[in-house]
Chain A
Amino acid sequence: MNSKPEHIIHVDDLGSIVKPKEFLLGNTESELVAACKAGERSAQKRVYELFSGKMLNVCKRYAKDADHAKDMMHDGFIKVFLNIQKFREQASLETWITRIMINNSISDIRKEVRKGIKVSTDDVHIKDENIKDFELVCQKPITANQVFETMNQLPLGYKTVLSLYVLDGFTHKEIAAQLGISEGTSKSQLAKAKKVLAKLLTDAYL
């Protein structure tokens, strides 16, 4: 039984009488991009809602804290919408946004990362027993958040190179170009990062 008074017609029932230009769920990515290029705020909102969660996780890998990560994410999305005209749909929208987010985050922390890498002279010596124990760690039911928290304990230089190489798929050449370091430095930072992270995980969860 229809509980609505008959003379009241809801907006959704109006159908073709007046159809606002709202962006509806289910539109393809191309339509979404086209609407964003046209400056439609509802489309921009949709893009933000779709990808902001993931992009926040991306930014958290490079930020100092949660607030910094949120600011990075917002700045990244601003760049996305200001430069949306340049998106050529050769890759997926998510990939493009992720790249912008990473580049934006790196440029934010570049100086600090380079400084951290330069002053980091300690040669972390990992015992072989720690490396063997890590295999046991892999069998433990450790959540993603726990791993992430552990990774956050790494020095900024280690964490950045580790994230760029392992999680975001950058080559050492690209990492070197991004951070203004040599390829050799990138490789050594990665090696050290892996060793230290393995030790931290072993100490924490084994």
Chain B
Amino acid sequence: MQKKGNIESFLREKLQNMEVAFQDDWSVFEEKLRYALYVRRLKRMMWLGTCSIVLLLSFVSVNVYHIQEGATYQPRHQSLQIGNSSLFEPAMYYEPTNELSTDVKSATFFNKTKGDITASSIKIRGTNSTDILTQKSHSVTANIPLPTTSTVSTKKAALLLNANNNDRIEEANAGVSAQDLLSNLEHFEFQDMVMLVGSDGEIEQAPAKEKVLKTYSRFHPLYLSTKNLDLDIIDKDFVSVHMPLEIKDIKSYEGPYVSPLQDKNPWSYALNVYPNFTYRKFAVDQDKLDYIHRDFIDAVQSAEKGGFSLNVGFEVSRRIGLITFLNSGIEYMTYNTEAVYNFTNFRDADINPTTGRIDNYSLKLRKENIEFTDRNTYHYLNFPLSISHQPWATNHIRLNIEVGGSFMYFVTAKGKTLDYKTLDIVDLSTRDFKKSMGSFFFKVGANYYVSPNINVGFEPTIMYFTNTIYSNDYPFKVVPYCVGMNFNIQINLN
């Protein structure tokens, strides 16, 4: 009769002590391990990149503003009595018998506070609305609650303040701040003020008095009757200067602030110049210790850490939202590092000619102090692709968040360095490098617009490199992350 569990004991006794054969296939396994680590790193970065893009797109979708030509809305009628006096008087610059009339589609109101009109209450109306800016130097009351607006002018506004007697002409150009306006307003009676809006560069560029005249002429009745004005903001309607003011619909613009310097074209082109300071860490690959001269190991880790690059390029941007852009282009990058070595060499390496490994060392009769300094420059062609979003802006300053990737084509390397085995001076141009590398980046920065076409900015950047240009036998591990700071100058070509 079979003993209970007999075969189980038999199997355990035989198979759990089976002969173990030593597996001499580490190199084969190591390649698989390297690949698995690389894939894991890539998956993590893609996951991070995808999350960043999803977050950015979510943020953008909340703020995307579809610019619609000729948007219509139902006007509502309200009359506005400002105190006991009429808000408007016929402007003094044209014949009293001539009246300007218009359908005021909307008006800019200010959030009235008791007492003075505060600067924060003055806004300039945006698209598809008439900009009417009216104030009084003293307090204003209104019979109706006034909506707040958060608007920008989508076109340049020529703001003209005309003194009653023509002896005080104040003229403000596009982008005048509300505070500046306020500080001037108190010098004038309200009936002296009128704002003209439009994108007429001719008005802007003319001298002050001529501007006044040109502006007057543009409001000549003949002009008005033919409606031959190019006043984009008021959409060929005109400021109404009769009392009581018929206030049509008030349409609040609730979208993000768009700077008047923002280019509204769907495509824009720019030249970029930006120096960049990066920090990258090199570490000795522990598995390749036999390929590096022992006296050299510590020296090289301190010598090659980071550097400075200068990028010059051409950028193409496609507007995909009001303040969101898809960017691409081509850049020429020069990355500079200093190869600085100062160490003592005790021995010469005996290098195996077949394997390339250092099998042994021969002690020098006399130790040698090695001091070497040279600039190493690496040249790349960079092809970036990114999405940028400008969540905050004023007239001159814009915050920019950008995420994307790039393909970098290695062109050449120049300079000299020390060979890590023989410690001989080698020319970088004779070394083997891989031809390309990829990167993902994330930037948050700010740009200051000196003029509509020129801006300067700085952007802290984080980059991740999918690979390096160094060949597989390079005995150093380059940490694939780097942080840097871009200082850019951008010239808009539109």
Contact = CB atoms under 8 A, between A and B. Distances in A.
A143 B365 CA distance: 61
B347 interface: yes
Contacts of A14: 294, 361
Contacts of A56: 21, 23
Contacts of A81: 33
Contacts of A78: 32-33, 36
Contact of A11 (B18, B36, B295, B361): B361
Interface residues of B, number: 43
Contacts of B2: 131-132, 134-135, 198
A20 B363 CA distance: 18
Interface stretch (B9-17, B86-94, B369-377): B9-17
Contacts of A138: 6, 10
A113 to B, nearest CB: 19
A77 B29 contact: yes
B347 A52 contact: no
B308 to A, nearest CB: 30
Contacts of B21: 53, 56
Contact of B361 (A9, A54, A77): A9
Contact of A18 (B7, B19, B297): B297
A20 B289 CA distance: 7
Interface stretch (A42-50, A104-112, A178-186): A42-50
B20 A57 contact: yes
B32 A45 contact: no
Given A53-B21, A132-B1, A7 B363 contact: yes
B73 interface: no
B8 A44 contact: no
A144 B360 contact: no
B30 interface: yes
Contacts of B289: 20-22
A7 B365 contact: yes
Contact of B26 (A9, A17, A49, A82): A49
A71 B288 CA distance: 26
Contact of A166 (B8, B19, B25, B37): B8
Contact of B11 (A44, A57, A82, A167): A167
A99 interface: no
B32 A144 contact: no
Main secondary structure of the interface of A (DSSP, over half): helix
Interface residues of A, number: 49
Interface string A13-34: 0100110111000000000000
B472 interface: no
Contacts of A206: none
A130 to B, nearest CB: 9
B8 to A, nearest CB: 5
A162 B40 CA distance: 35
A77 B17 CA distance: 21
A145 B8 contact: no
A197 B7 contact: yes
B95 interface: no
A179 to B, nearest CB: 19
A196 to B, nearest CB: 10
A192 to B, nearest CB: 12
Contacts of B360: 8, 10-11
B23 A49 contact: yes
Given A22-B289, A53-B21, A198 B295 contact: no
A194 interface: yes
Interface string B281-319: 000011101000011010000000000000000000000
B14 A18 contact: no
B3 interface: yes
Contacts of B40: 82
Contacts of B361: 9-11, 14
Given A18-B295, A135-B6, A57 B18 contact: yes
B474 interface: no
B269 interface: no
Contacts of B297: 18
Interface string B327-367: 00000000000000000001100000000000011110100
B492 to A, nearest CB: 47
A40 B318 CA distance: 47
Contacts of B23: 48-49, 52-53, 56, 73
Given A20-B289, A48-B26, A81-B33, A194 B7 contact: yes
A81 to B, nearest CB: 6
A142 to B, nearest CB: 7
Nearest to A61: B15
Nearest to A18: B294
A147 interface: yes
A61 B360 CA distance: 44
Interface in B56-104: none
Interface of A: 7-11, 14, 17-18, 20-22, 40-42, 44-45, 48-49, 52-54, 56-57, 61, 70, 73-74, 77-78, 81-82, 131-132, 134-135, 138, 142-145, 147-148, 151, 162, 166-167, 194, 197-198
6 contacts: A9-B362, A49-B22, A52-B29, A82-B36, A144-B14, A148-B14
